[in-house]
């Protein structure tokens, strides 16, 4: 049986992937350009950051497509 995840955490997880991946990718690229060389670890961290950002984006798109096709649409509560 799967554990219940709060809705805010469920909605935030792909965005955390996208933001973390973008920060890692840009950070490693800027660091390598300023240092004048690429190291293996910087390259791997840049690749990992790009992968995280791509996975987060794919997850967001899949959720949007699923919700658009679902006949059980979620209702937004008025606050």
Q: Residue 7's pLDDT is what? A: 84
For residue 22, count CB atoms less than 10 angstroms from its CB and return exposed for 0-12, middle for 13-18, buried for 19 or more. middle
Q: Residue 26's pLDDT is what? A: 96
Domain for residue 30, yes or no? yes
CA angle (38, 40, 43) in 5-degree steps = 65
Domain for residue 75, yes or no? no
pTM of the model: 0.76
Of the candidates 9, 6, 14, 3, the one whose C-alpha atom is nearest the C-alpha of residue 64 is 14
Domain for residue 74, yes or no? no
Domain count along the chain: 1
End-to-end C-alpha distance for the chain, whole angstroms: 32
pLDDT tens digit string along 16-51? 999 999 999 999 999 999 999 999 999 999 999 999
Domain that holds residue 42: 8-67
CB atoms within 10 A of CB 31: 14
Domain for residue 3, yes or no? no
Q: Residue 76's pLDDT is what? A: 59
Q: Residue 1's pLDDT is what? A: 59
């Amino acid at each position: 049986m799967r554990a219940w995840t709060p809705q805010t955490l469920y909605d935030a997880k792909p965005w955390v992937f996208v933001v973390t991946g973008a920060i890692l990718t840009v950070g490693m690229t800027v660091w390598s350009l300023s240092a004048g060389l690429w190291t293996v670890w910087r390259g791997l961290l840049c690749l990992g950051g790009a992968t995280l950002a791509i996975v987060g984006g794919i997850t967001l798109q899949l959720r949007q497509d699923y919700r658009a096709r679902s006949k059980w649409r979620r209702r937004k509560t008025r606050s």
